[in-house]
Each structure stands twice: as structure tokens, then as C-alpha cells.
Amino acid sequence: MTRVPFVAGNWKMNTSKSAAIELARGVAAGAPASSVQVGVAPPFVYLDAVGQAIGGSSVLLGAQDCYFEKNGAFTGEISVEMLKDLGVKFCLTGHSERRHVLKESGELVGRKAAAVYGGGLTLIHCVGEKLEERDANQTLAVCQKQLDELSPSTMHDPDRLVIAYEPVWAIGTGRNATDAQAQEVHAFIRGAIARKWNKDFADRVRIQYGGSMKPENAAGLLARPDVDGGLIGGAALKADSFLAIVMAAR
């Protein structure tokens, strides 16, 4: 089964408006037109400017978060409809910083995931264990629980469902999972998706690795059979390093 790899940059709460535009232009200028899907997820307030900067290129615009309601009295929140209005094509849910720093519950993450997918966007649903959970041999159980936030009865298009395996201990720490550790969990995730949906569906779902992926370790991770791209934090803040990872995914 050939899956087109998907490499997405999560800019988190970084950049200024001018830096975001410059970074976006750099990514758009160097991104290949085919063989790998490339996306950038800037802060909400720069989505419009970044969308214009990547306009006409193959780079997809993404959001780091959203709220599950369509509109109404939800001060400070952003709906999927609002994201679509700005040309957003994909949205993350369940990033470890939202789960563990912003204290989002699994139930809230699941409602957001349903809203993203139900609204017609591509969903990048993040799963991954904390260090103490890995040490206690709970890695696969944690990933299963976070995958269970997704509902197979409402998600039918495998091309719009992406799972990002992001071990929490690897995010922003400079300590990536080894190629073998990543492959073990990715294979588990694909099996879990096959059990929840079916094998054909699971074979088409992209599973990204995230957690200190950088140009130096990308090729090894991406060479593993179940690693279908990356979700990149720190290394996505410079066009050169991000594009080096993109090229490794081709």
C-alpha cells in the first residue's frame, strides 16, 4: 500500500506576523508539488496572512486547535467553520500540550476531533505516552485509549484521518524515539485502527511521527514502513530544516 507521506509544521505559539509570512513563503518556495504532502499550522491570528503567503503553492494551511461548537457564546474560541472560511484544510486535536498543559480531557479532545472531521477538514489526531507511562509499559494502552476518542461510525474517509504518534517525552526535548521504538508503536496504531475500522481503512491512514524530528534523524524514522511523515515543532520554525525533513519523506 503506498501512502503519500504528510509532513506538517506545528508552529505553536511562535513567530510574529512578518516572521510567519517569511517562513510561509520559504516553505512554499521549496515544497515539492507532489510525492509528499506539506502543511503548516501557524497561530490562529496569522492564519489569514500565512494562507495568502502560501496561496498558489501545494502547501496546506492547518490549525493547531479549534472548538467543537459551530458558533455562539464561547469567548475566545474558534470554530471549524471559521477555520474553513480562512482556507484551513487540516486541524490538530489532542496535542500533548493541549492535553497536559491546557488540561484538555479525552472527552473534549474527542468532541473536537468529531467536529474537525465532521466539518470536512483533515484531522491530525495526536496520541502518545508520557515518560512515566513508557517506563510502566503503558505506552500501547495510552495510545489505544487516545485512539478510542475517535468514532469509526462517523469517520469513513481514511484520507482525511491522520494519526500523529508523539511520545510526550520526545516533544521539544531533543530526545527522539528511536526508529525501532517509533515503528513498534506505529504498527500497533495501524493494527488498532484495523480493529476499530478495518484493514483496508487502516492501510490508507497516514501515521506521522512527532517528537524532536529533525533533518539528522528524519531519514531513519521515515524509512520505517509504518511511519508516513512527521509532525514537526521546533525544526518547522526554519524553512531550511523543515524542507530538509520534507525532502527526506519523498
- The residues carrying an active-site annotation are 95, 166
| CB atoms inside a 10 Å sphere around CB 225 | 10
User: What Rg do the C-alpha atoms of the chain give, in angstroms?
Assistant: 17
CB 198, min distance to ligand PEP, A: 29
Task: Give Cβ neighbours of residue 221 (< 8 Å, ≥ 6 apart).
Answer: 176, 177, 179, 182, 209, 213, 227, 230
Residue (24 or 236) nearer to ligand PEP, CB: 236
Is 72 buried (19+), middle (13-18) or exposed (0-12) by CB count in 10 A? Answer: exposed
Place of cell 502547501: 59
Cell of 149: 476518542
State how far the Cα of 45 lies from the Cα of 51, in Å rounded to an integer: 11
Q: Kindly state the smallest distance separating residue 94's Cβ from ligand PEP, in Å.
A: 11
CB atoms within 10 A of CB 146: 24
User: Quick one: 51 or 233, whose CB is closer to ligand PEP?
Assistant: 233
**Facing residues of 63 across strands?**
91
**Quick one: 162 or 235, whose CB is closer to ligand PEP?**
235
Shortest distance in whole angstroms from residue 232 CB to ligand PEP: 5
SS3 198: coil
C-beta closer to ligand PEP: residue 147 or 197 = 147
- Per CB under 6 A, residues contacting ligand PEP are 10, 166, 171-172, 210-213, 231-235
Q: How far is the CB of 150 from ligand PEP (least distance, A)?
A: 18
